[in-house]
Structures are given as C-alpha cells and as structure tokens.
Amino acid sequence: MLITLFIIVTIGFMVIRLMPGNTMYADDPDMSAAQIEVLRAKYHLDKPVPVQYVIFLRGLLLEGDWGTSISLYVGVPVWDVLKAKIPVSMYNNIVSLMISLPLGILSGVIAAIRKNTIVDYATSFAVVIFISVPSFIFATLLQYFAAFKWRLFPIIYDASATGAGKLHSLLLPILALSFSPIARVTRYLRAELAETINSDFMLLARTKGLTETQATLRHGIRNSLVPLANVVIPMFTHIMSGSLVIERIFSIPGMGGLMVSSINAPDYPLTLAILIFYSLVSLVTVLVVDLAYGVIDPRIRIGGRNIE
Amino acid sequence: MRVDDLSVSFRAYAGLVKAVRGVSFHLDKGETLAIVGESGSGKSVTMKAILGILPKNGRIDSGSIIYDGQDLAKFTEQEFYQIRGKKISLVFQDPLSALNPIMIVGKQITEALTLSLGMSKERAKVRALELMNAVGIPDCETRFHQYPFQFSGGMRQRVVIAIALASDPEILICDEPTTALDVTIQARILELIKEIKAQRGLSIIFITHDLGVVANMADRIAVMYAGKIVEMGTSDDIFYRPVHPYTWALLSSIPDLDTKEALVSIPGTTPDMIHLPPGDAFSPRNKYAVALDFEREPPMFRVSDTHCAATWLLHPNAPKVEMPELLANRIRRNAEERIADER
C-alpha cells in the first residue's frame, strides 16, 4: 500500500509539474522581474523538477510539510487549507455511503424475494434510471423542487449550522450523491441473492423447519454480502468524484471546489495535496474492504490462518 | 404414510414436464423403502412434493400424500412448517452445498431447535452436541464452532444427518445421501443411517440410482422409470424374483466382481418428459417389448401380496418371456451364496 502511494505521489507530482504553463507570476504586470525571481526561488520553482520533487518529498516525510499554497491562499500552509475542507467533504461522502448501503441492501433483498413480480420490475426500472442519470442532474432537480419550490431545505449549504441543522442543510447533496450507489447495490444484491436463494443450503434451511423469511434473513443475505464487499470500493470512489461536482452546485466549501480552483489557479502544492489525499482515502477503502472480507467470510479468515 | 396416484408437473419453456405420473406407495412405521431409478425418473421430485419444497414452477396436479390423517398435497406453506424437520426430514445428496458455508456448524444444527421449536440456546447446544456425538463426529465441542469447509465430505454428511435428526422426525428421507462421497465413506454413512434407524425407530425413504447401495438397507424397493413406479416389492422380490424388464436391466448393470462378464448397460436414454412416447415409456429401450407396449400403458399387475409390476408381460395372454440368462445365473449364484452364508 505504501509502495502504491509512493508511485501515485511520484506520478502525480511529475504530471502536475510538467503541465504547460508553469511559469508562475511570469506575466504579472505589477511585479518586477526581480520580485518574480525572489518568489520563484522561495517556492523552489527555479530549480529543475526532480530537485523540486526531492525537496517536496523530504518536507512531507520528515516534517509533515505539505508545502505552501502559492496562489489561492498565498502563504498559508497547504495542510491548514485542507484541514478546513476535508471534514465537510468527508461528512457528505461518508453519510452518503452510510445511507446507500442499507437502503441498497434492503431494496435488493426485496427485489430478489419478489423476483419476477411487479415489485421487482419497478425496482429494476428505477435502478436503470438511477445508474444512468448522473448525480448532478438529480442535484439540480432536488435543488429546484425540494429547496426552491417547496422550501423544505436551504438552497445552498449553510456553513453556520451544526448537528442536526448541518445534516438538514446537507441532505439534498447527500441524497443526490446516494441515488446511484443505492441503485448499484440494489442491482448487485438482487442478482447475488436470487442465486443464493436457489442454493441447496437454503433448501436445507427450509427442510429443517425454518420459514422462508427466516431462511433468507439468516442464510441468504449474509452469503450474498461477500461479493458485495467488492463493489463498495468503486462505489465509494464514485461517490467522492460525484461529490466534486455536487459541492459546486450547492456551494459547499469542500474539497471539490478547492480542487477545481487549485488546478485553474494554478496552485501546484494544493492540487498535489488533494490528489494525495484522495488516493490515500481510496487506498484506505480498499484496506477496510479487504479486512471486512475476513469478518464476513470465515473461509478467508480461517483459511488464511491455516496456510501459515 | 401413504402416497396415492401422485402427479407433479413443471412449467418449462418447452412445455409441461410431467415429472411424476401417478405414483403410489406406502411407508410403514419403522421400515425402509428404497426408491430406485435413473436420473430424471422423478424420484427426487416425489420427495420434494412430500416436503412441499417443489420449485416455484412445479405443481402437484393430482393425488394425495396422506400422513397422520392429513393430506400433505393440499398443505399450505404455513402448515408445512409443522411437518418439515419435525415430522419429516431430508438428508441431501451433496453435503458440500447443503451447508451454509459461512455459518458455524453448531449453529446450523441448533437453529432448527431454537427457531422452529423455540428451545433455549443452552438446551439447543446440549442437544446439538448429543446429536453430533450420535452421528459419530469426534471432538464435538471443537467441531461445534467450526465452519463446514473445515470438515471432510463424510463428516459434512454426518452434520447434515444431525441437522435432519435435530427435531426428532418420524420419517427420514435420504436423497442419494452417499452419491457425493468416496466408496469407503459411503459404507460408513450407510452403516450410520442403519444404526440411527434402529435406535430411533425411524421410517426411511431411501432414494438412489444404485441398486447395490440399497441391497442390505431396504425392506421394500420401488423401481421408478419416467415418473412412474414400474415394479415394487420386498427386497427379496426385486433382487431374486424381478419381473419387469427395466428391473432386469438395472440388476444386470450392477458390476459383478466374481465373474468376467462384460458390464451390461441399458441402451438409449431416458425419454423426453415433455413428449412422452405413447404406451409404456420404457418400450423404446426394451428388447422384450410387445406390440401393445407401444400403444397402451400397462397397469400394475399383482405378482404376489408384496410384489407388483407394470408390464404387459404379466398379462395372462402375453408371451412367456424369461429374464436374461446372465441375470438368472447371477441371481442363482447370489441365492446360493446367501444360503451358504446362512449356514
């Protein structure tokens, strides 16, 4: 995982630095050539890219120094900028994931049990719509109807709210983010469970006297959760990337807006830090899911132990 | 238990599959009835109908399954909860897929007790350990907390049997319980089933495609072909006095280690259950078939009080046909051996 992260940081750094247009302040008419030189020297922009890379890496590893913002928040350490934004974005993303999983599982189970009935068809229809329509469309629709027309929610994020109020003001973006993951989980679980229901151990569960519901709840669902853990990884990264756009629509001061403006500025250290942050989150998701396999599936937990 | 004229069919894309066509048999208390037949002869479907676990596209068309004065064929899913596991249990063919792979074995046994009998967890555990002991699983305490993948095939089948016995049923249906196992393990599982039967006074319906397996298990044997019982009688009737050509063919195809005879097989395959041939379904593969066999289905002819068979050969006007010489010799030999053994 550390090696993966190192490769991502290296490639990310190189790509960002080698992008055209990296002569900072060069065309600023208010500054003299000497001033520009001083600034460039201060941020090591006058040195060759590999040297800059070494300086960056040394700062990050030895002092936890992510560099300093060079144009958006001039002089502010990058970490301080991120510190304010990360909680807002992660709040959205994680709440969205927390909503999507149970709702998706629930509707997937219902669709599987009522397979080939009107309930199943309706669910499948909704799933197709929610997967194929991008989240920002739902965001705009929700914003227009729920917030503007019916005035149930604030139109844009209210930064001063806390606790329940915060959830209330973030509910629309979270909902918009959750539609597609819910649909994905539903579709996946329906397919898995429909197969599990036909397995012999479900039949055995019924022949030993369990009702169909008991058999499905106790034997069916957990068995179909094992492969589901697999979809959680792409799902979470999907939520995070969706969140970049949604945050703009609802004016949420999170990572999304920051990322776009840091690229436009350009503010290299900031862009790089955001990139590293997102990579790190994705890697942690993978790790968590891998560990979750062991919890859900004893064959992985105990099987691994036996090999040692 | 008494099954009368039971018919089951399945809706399939190609048409209606008549899997079971008027099967009748009875099972007395404490006896073992073996149902023998090729794959697709409807033996498993009959058992599923008895337990009310037919797939959704399957349906009982007619007939009755009388158990304890009630007709199971008319039972609702709700009513079956009182039967499954508690009165009639099933031992599956493949212990590998019949156990939930991610639930500890102990819990799979106690589940039947806590959920459907309302037993407390502690008592259920004690009972489960007893059961595991009874079916010959060593080191129960440890095994209780293990998962199916940590068990060997034979041990898994023992677990499945323990589950089937959990709620003390009266009838145990064994659906090819040894097919998925090694030959040596097969013998031990058969031994176990016999023991359990004797201890608990169970009635057993034993389904298999292998006459050899049932030879010293069954009191009575029913031979099924294409959804019908073609011959039924006591074990001795079937093994020493078979009358139906299909039974002859089955018996001839048991490999005999004592002679150098070539292994006999039955020509052809089982008929298409959607478009059954007119007359006797076995006639196209039957070298003893008479003309009437291709036109009308034979009724059950009585051979003796315990023995009956559905073949026109038993009709008073039918030509006298003897069973194949090879089989006759073999039966004679077996009978002689048995007499020798008894001495």
For residues A94 and B321, which has the higher predicted lDDT (pLDDT)?
Answer: A94
d(C-alpha A17, C-alpha A156), whole Å: 35
In angstroms, what separates the C-alpha of B41 from chain A's closest C-alpha?
20
Confidence of residue B234 (pLDDT cuts 50, 70, 90): very high
d(C-alpha B10, C-alpha B18), whole Å: 7
Confidence of residue B273 (pLDDT cuts 50, 70, 90): confident
Lowest average pLDDT, out of A140-144, A169-173, B272-276, B337-341, goes to B272-276
Cβ pair B111:A210 closer than 8 A: yes
Interface test with A, best of B47, B92, B100 (most A CBs within 10 A): B100
Query: Residue B339: pLDDT above 50?
Result: yes
Question: Long-range pairs for B322-325 at CB < 8 Å and ≥24 separation?
Answer: B323/B242, B323/B243, B323/B248, B324/B248, B324/B252
What's the whole-number average pLDDT of chain B?
85
Percent of chain B clearing pLDDT 90 (strictly above): 15
pLDDT at B221: 93
Which residue of A lies nearest to B81 if distances are taken between CA atoms? A209
Which residue of B lies nearest to A116 if distances are taken between CA atoms? B56
Where is mean pLDDT largest: A263-267, A273-277, A303-307, B12-16? A273-277
Mean pLDDT for the stretch of residues B43-70: 88
Amino acid B113 reads: L
Kindly state whether B97 is in contact with chain A, defined as any CB-CB distance less than 8 angstroms: yes
In angstroms, what separates the C-alpha of B180 from chain A's closest C-alpha?
14
d(C-alpha A201, C-alpha B112), whole Å: 13
> What is the CATH architecture assignment of A86-253?
Orthogonal Bundle (1.10)
Nearest beta carbon to residue B84 from set A209, A222, A299:
A209
How high is the ipTM of this complex?
0.77
Query: Residue B34: pLDDT above 90?
Result: yes
Cβ pair A209:B116 closer than 8 A: yes
B 269-328 residues inside an 8 A Cβ radius of A:
none
d(C-alpha B21, C-alpha B286), whole Å: 20
Q: In chain A, which residues fall in CATH 1.10.3720.10?
A: 86-253
Cβ pair A208:B111 closer than 8 A: yes
Lowest average pLDDT, out of A128-142, A223-237, B312-326, goes to B312-326
Contacts of A302 in chain B (CB under 8 A): 147, 150
Mean pLDDT for the stretch of residues A249-261: 84
Report residue B105: phi and psi, to 5°: -55, -45
Contacts of A205 in chain B (CB under 8 A): 100, 111
In angstroms, what separates the C-alpha of B101 from chain A's closest C-alpha?
8
Q: What is the per-residue burial (b if ≥16 Cβ within 10 Å, else e) of A152-185?
A: ebbeebeeeeeeeebeebbbbbbbbbbbbbbbbb
Mean pLDDT for the stretch of residues B59-71: 88
Contacts of A229 in chain B (CB under 8 A): none
Cβ pair B53:A203 closer than 8 A: yes
- Output the DSSP codes for A10-74: HHHHHHHHHSS---TTTT-TTS-HHHHHHHHHHTTTTS-HHHHHHHHHHHHHHH----B-SSSST
For residue B89, list its beta bridge partners. Answer: B172
Lowest average pLDDT, out of A17-26, A63-72, B205-214, B272-281, goes to A17-26
Query: Residue A26: pLDDT above 60?
Result: no
Report the SS3 class of residue B271: coil
For residues B134 and A163, which has the higher predicted lDDT (pLDDT)?
Answer: B134
Contacts of A221 in chain B (CB under 8 A): none
For the stretch B120-174, pLDDT in tens is 889 999 999 999 988 889 998 899 999 998 898 889 999 999 999 888 889 999 9
d(C-alpha B308, C-alpha B286), whole Å: 19
Confidence of residue A33 (pLDDT cuts 50, 70, 90): confident
Amino acid B30 reads: G
pLDDT at B33: 93
Cβ pair A200:B115 closer than 8 A: no
In angstroms, what separates the C-alpha of A108 from chain B's closest C-alpha?
20
Mean pLDDT for the stretch of residues A228-256: 85
Establish if B293 belongs to a structural domain: yes
Confidence of residue A308 (pLDDT cuts 50, 70, 90): very low
Confidence of residue A306 (pLDDT cuts 50, 70, 90): low
Do residues A189 and A109 make contact, with C-beta atoms less than 8 angstroms apart?
Answer: yes
B26: enclosing H helix or E strand: strand B15-26
Nearest beta carbon to residue A210 from set B101, B115, B150:
B115
d(C-alpha B116, C-alpha A97), whole Å: 36
Establish if B171 belongs to a structural domain: no
Which residue of A lies nearest to B167 if distances are taken between CA atoms? A208
Cβ pair A298:B94 closer than 8 A: no
| Closest CA relative to residue A139, chosen from A249, A285, A286 | A249
Establish if B222 belongs to a structural domain: no
Cβ pair A208:B94 closer than 8 A: no
How many CB pairs (< 8 A) connect A and B? 79
Q: What is the dihedral of CA B273, B274, B278, B282, to 10 degrees?
A: -10
Cβ pair A208:B98 closer than 8 A: no
**B83: its two tokens:** 């039967």
Cβ pair A207:B147 closer than 8 A: no
Nearest beta carbon to residue B149 from set A204, A212, A299:
A299
Establish if B119 belongs to a structural domain: no
For residue A146, list its beta bridge partners. Answer: none
Establish if B249 belongs to a structural domain: yes
pLDDT at A27: 61
**A237: its two tokens:** 């990264």
Cβ pair B53:A223 closer than 8 A: no
A71-to-A83, A244, A263 alpha-carbon distances in Å: 18, 21, 11
Mean pLDDT for the stretch of residues B246-273: 77
Mean pLDDT for the stretch of residues B29-36: 91
Cβ pair B100:A200 closer than 8 A: no
Count: domains in chain B: 1
Interface of A with B (CB under 8 A): 199-201, 203-212, 214, 218-219, 222-223, 226, 296-299, 302-303
Mean pLDDT for the stretch of residues A171-199: 90
Query: Residue A49: pLDDT above 90?
Result: no
pLDDT at A123: 92
The domain of B332 spans 239-342
Which residue of B lies nearest to A212 if distances are taken between CA atoms? B77
CB neighbours (10 Å) of residue B80?
Answer: 20
d(C-alpha A296, C-alpha A288), whole Å: 12
Lowest average pLDDT, out of A112-126, B9-23, B193-207, goes to B9-23
Cβ pair B164:A207 closer than 8 A: yes
B 35-94 residues inside an 8 A Cβ radius of A:
51, 53, 77, 81, 84-86, 89-90, 92, 94
Confidence of residue A29 (pLDDT cuts 50, 70, 90): low
Mean pLDDT for the stretch of residues B178-196: 85
CB neighbours (10 Å) of residue B100?
Answer: 26
- Output the DSSP codes for B88-144: EEEE-S-HHHHS-TTS-HHHHHHHIIIIIH---HHHHHHHHHHHHHHTT-SSHHHHH
Establish if B309 belongs to a structural domain: yes
Query: Residue A23: pLDDT above 60?
Result: no
